[in-house]
Structure 1
Amino acid sequence: MIVDARGLRCPWPALRAARVLRSAPTVEIEADDPAAARELAALASAQGLEFEALSPGRFRISQPRG
């Protein structure tokens, strides 16, 4: 699932991603807030998930590969 959080200030991109992660194993987030990468990485870490920056403004949080 893709979350379009462009134009939203943190913590909203992370909150929207967390909501999707309740029902999906992976979420991609589009966010243009400069703090988004740090907030999304913290969300992933707190939940034991992987965080990946796909490109500027586009991120993925997913279950650990293993």
Structure 2
Amino acid sequence: MSAFDVEVDTSGLNCPLPVLKARKALADMSAGQKLHLIVTDKGANKDIPAFCKMTGNQLVENYEQAGKLHFILEKGA
């Protein structure tokens, strides 16, 4: 598991809310910082990688633990 700078737990929220909360958190971060996003909506498995591709942020890691999806995103330049 990677170290991260900011954590956002969107458990119980359905898309697009996890993506919107990730976007808001990343807006306040500096390039190279890492965001740990916790999601329960299975749709995030498609939505988060697509969001990263569209916004120039990098999906560093993702895994499932205790029924929750975990995404580590690195803010792009």
TM-score per shorter chain, which class?
0.7 to 0.9
User: 2:40 is aligned with what amino acid?
Assistant: D
Considering only CA atoms, is the larger Rg found in Structure 1 or Structure 2?
2
The equivalent residue for 1:20 is 25
Matched residue pairs, number?
A: 64
State the TM-score, normalized to the length of structure 2: 0.74
User: 1:48 is aligned with what amino acid?
Assistant: G
1:10-49 superposed matches below 5 A:
10-24=15-29, 25-49=33-57
**Match for residue 9 of structure 1 among 14, 24, 28:** 14
Structure 1 stretches of at least 4 aligned residues deviating more than 2 Å after TM superposition: none
Gap regions ≥5 residues in structure 2: 1-5
Q: Supply the RMSD in Å over aligned alpha carbons.
A: 1.4
State the TM-score, normalized to the length of structure 1: 0.84
Gap regions ≥5 residues in structure 1: none
Report sequence identity in percent. 23
